[in-house]
Amino acid sequence: MIAVQLNKRDFEYDIHSLIRAFYPGMDVPVYQEGEAEPEGWEKKLVVDYQSDQISLELVGKKNEILGKAQRDVDYEADRKATKNVLKSMLYEMLRDHTGQSLPWGNLTGIRPTKIPMALLEQGWKNTEIADYMRKTYYTSNEKTALSIMIANRERHILKDINYEDGYSLYVGIPFCPSICLYCSFSSSPLAVWRDRVDSYLDALCREIEACAQIYRNRKLDTIYMGGGTPTTLEPYQMDRLLTKIEECFDRSYLKEFTVEAGRPDSITREKLEVLRAHGISRISINPQTMNQKTLDIIGRRHTVEQTVDAFHLARELGFDNINMDLIVGLPGEEYEQVEHTMKEVTALDPDSITVHSLAVKRAARLNMFKDQYKEMTFTNNQQIMEMTARYAYQAGHSPYYLYRQKNMAGNFENVGYAKPDSAGIYNILIMEEKQSILALGAGATSKKVCGDRIERTENVKDIKNYVERIDEMIERKRLLMETDSQ
């Protein structure tokens, strides 16, 4: 345990996240001076904020000094600069103490490409941005180059998007065939809810009708149907939902409509035919891994063969923009297993591949029952990430979006690779937070982007509550969005 003592509560998230990046899995309780000190700490970081300086002191169990730093700041005049100074001090201290450097340096946020994107829009050159990122955030040469490359491609892909008058639509289907070991999303096993899916769709269609009116004067750029697993819906249910979307929303300006088909064991010819009948060609078929042993461990109740069959079926039916999601850092998988997955996936020749680094969140079974899985290894490293990138490049893909999550294996990132003209526009918009997102369904979060400010409202996650409180969910959206839609 590494305890953090503050003389006042400020920048807690940044401190906590950076320590956890150096010490994955370590408990990092944060408390204010004068409060009860956590028992059993091995190291303690003491942070002292003053109006003109910040002081850090890292001490051991016997109160020996393990590290010390102090720098001048103008604390309240420029909080962003103050935060950067604090994180630089802490990063240098932990780097020197542990003898390790982090690939993303002291960046603790989930959207590292927002930094080069903003600087590009200000007219900075790539070389200037690279120098700034390395000096300010201690990012490695490889990650600096990756983030700048992706920011440039994102700008090109989004060049025709109208941020002010446009918006994107997310529709959530919170059901899955089974719940994966690492999952913490708002999803529920279909077996429990099968008899109430139509009731959920009743509520969702009401939300669609009402919210389409709220945004009737704006241009819809992209639609993304996610979950959960949208293809847990029966063909008639999927047809009903897509028909309702078509009836309510003006799709004259639509650039992309993605349905996350997701689990291969939920995909049938009839369901794919419904999607094609509604003109949808971009879907995601997500194996996560092509190693059957791993699939069995993580609770993916499908076979490798089902993934291959679902992909070929989709191609047969005319889907010409198929994404495949993979996860690096799954239990028991080393370089050899991940390389096998990359070989099998690239042999299928999908149009885009998203490589995720495993992030185990607090709600996941893998974390809640960690003693049960303590013998498992969770491996991710620079060599594995470079290998996945190499296979993607060899298959004609290049990176187009990137994001990070808390508690990621190896402190790495998620990278989307795509062939030319196959990048997922919605993926970039949701990550860069440049456009308002109208999000419908249980657990969905709507965002209104107002310049540099982002306002959010969430739908309740519990399906029963969502159905019973649908009028409240609609009113939340009206309060958030309506003044922005006139």
Residue 214 shares a structural domain with residue 291: yes
pLDDT for position 175: 87
Under DSSP, is residue 281 helix (H, G, I), strand (E, B) or coil? coil
Evaluate whether residue 272 is within a structural domain: yes
Average pLDDT over residues 192-196: 72
**Residue 103 counted as domain residue:** no
* Cβ 201 vs Cβ 193: under 8 Å: no
CATH number of the domain to which 17 belongs: 3.40.50.10150
Mean per-residue pLDDT for 80-107? 94
> What are the structure tokens assigned to 467, written together?
């159905």
DSSP track, 49-115: E-SSEEEEEEEETT--EEEEEEEE--TTT-HHHHHHHHHHHHHHHHHHHH----TTTT--SS-TTHH
- Above 50 in pLDDT, residue 369? no
Predicted pLDDT of residue 370? 47
For 266, counting Cβ atoms within 10 Å of its Cβ (0-12 exposed, 13-18 middle, 19+ buried), the class is buried
pTM of the model: 0.87
Domains held by the chain: number: 3
> If you search the block for the tokens 């990046």, which residue do you land on?
21
Is residue 338's pLDDT more than 80?
Answer: yes
- Domain interval for residue 84: 2-98
Map tokens 């290049």 to a residue: 398
If asked whether residues 92 and 118 sit together in one domain, one would say no
Residue 236, domain member (yes or no): yes
Same domain, 197 and 301: yes
Is the pLDDT reported for residue 381 higher than 80? no
pLDDT at 368: 37
152 and 192 part of one domain: no
CATH number at residue 368: 3.80.30.20
Q: Do 148 and 216 belong to one domain? A: no
The answer to whether the Cα torsion of 212, 215, 216, 221 is positive or negative is negative
Cα(149)–Cα(103) distance, integer angstroms:
16
Q: Answer yes or no: is 108 within a domain.
A: no
Structure tokens at 310: 């679902």
* In a shared domain, residues 238 and 120: no
pLDDT at 24: 81
pLDDT class for 376, splitting at 50, 70, 90?
very low
Do the domain assignments include residue 377? yes
The values of phi and psi at residue 220, to 5°, are -85, 120
**What percent of the chain has pLDDT above 70?**
90
Domain presence at residue 349: yes
pLDDT, position 192: 64
At 300 the pLDDT is 77
What pLDDT score was predicted for residue 149?
Answer: 96
Joined tokens for residue 27: 């408990």
378 in the Ramachandran plot: left (φ > 0), alpha (ψ -120 to 50) or beta?
Answer: beta
| Count of other CB atoms within 10 angstroms of residue 471 | 12
pLDDT > 90? residue 428? yes
Give the lowest-confidence range in 153-157, 159-163, 410-414.
410-414
Q: Mean pLDDT, the chain, as a whole number?
A: 89
Torsions phi, psi for 109 (to 5 deg):
-75, 170
- My answer on whether 261 and 312 are in the same domain is yes
- 295, 299, 303, 306: CA torsion to nearest 10: -120
Q: Phi-psi category of 25—alpha, beta or left, where left has phi over 0 and alpha has psi -120 to 50?
A: left
Measured CA to CA in angstroms, residue 205 lies from 109, 171, 201, 261, 445 at distances of: 35, 10, 6, 20, 17
pLDDT of residue 482: 65
Exposed, middle or buried by CB within 10 Å (0-12, 13-18, 19+), for 332? middle
Confidence of residue 481 (pLDDT cuts 50, 70, 90): confident
Whether 483 maps to a domain, the answer reads no
- Whether 130 and 36 map to the same domain: the answer is no
Residue 221 has pLDDT above 50, yes or no: yes
Instruction: Give the mean model confidence (pLDDT) for residues 242-267.
Output: 94
More confident residue, 347 or 372: 347
**Do residue 146 and residue 202 come from a single domain?**
no
Provide the pLDDT for residue 325. Answer: 94
Q: Which long-range contacts (CB under 8 A, 24 or more apart) does 30-34 make?
A: 30/3, 30/4, 30/6, 31/3, 31/4, 31/5, 31/6, 32/5, 32/6, 32/7, 32/8, 33/5, 33/6, 33/7
214 and 347: one domain?
yes
Residue 444 lies in a domain: yes
| pLDDT tier at 365, thresholds 50, 70, 90 | very low
The predicted pLDDT at position 480 comes to 87
Shared domain for 346 and 223, answered yes or no, is yes
In 114-230 the beta strands, taken as DSSP E runs, fall at 166-173, 175-176, 188-189, 219-227
CB 70 within 8 A of CB 46: no
Same domain, 400 and 471: yes
The one-character DSSP state at 378 is B
**CA pseudo-torsion sign 473, 479, 481, 486:** positive
Range scoring the smallest mean pLDDT among 17-21, 108-112, 282-286, 376-380: 376-380
